[in-house]
């Protein structure tokens, strides 16, 4: 069941969030998507009552990852 949930999350992330600047991630195979998106050496930091994800600028897909996070954050909450 856990593997099926993980596969669904990857599929929905590719469908909903990998648009615009992150379109390069939508075309990847699942293994490449995991490497490029999920294995990034990022840090979660807090400042000013906000949580931020610090992604290294040297990571080749940093702009695509930021675009994915912004797209996911823009999805409205269900009423």
Cβ neighbors of 22 (< 8 A, separation 6 or more) are 64, 65, 67, 68, 71
- Tell whether 79 is covered by a domain: no
- Tell whether 62 is covered by a domain: yes
Containing structural domain, residue 43: 2-74
Q: How many domains does the chain have?
A: 1
- Tell whether 16 is covered by a domain: yes
pLDDT for 2 beyond 90: yes
pLDDT for 38 beyond 90: no
Predicted TM-score (pTM) of the model is 0.72
pLDDT band at 10 (very low <50, low <70, confident <90, very high): confident
Tokens of 5: 């949930």
What pLDDT does residue 1 have? 94
């Amino acid at each position: 069941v856990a593997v099926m949930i993980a596969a669904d999350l990857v599929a929905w992330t590719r469908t909903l969030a990998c648009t615009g600047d992150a379109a390069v991630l939508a075309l990847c195979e699942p293994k490449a998507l995991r490497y490029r998106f999920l294995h990034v050496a990022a840090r979660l930091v807090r400042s000013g009552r906000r949580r931020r994800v610090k992604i290294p600028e040297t990571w080749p897909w940093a702009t695509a990852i930021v675009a994915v996070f912004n797209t996911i954050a823009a999805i409205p909450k269900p009423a």
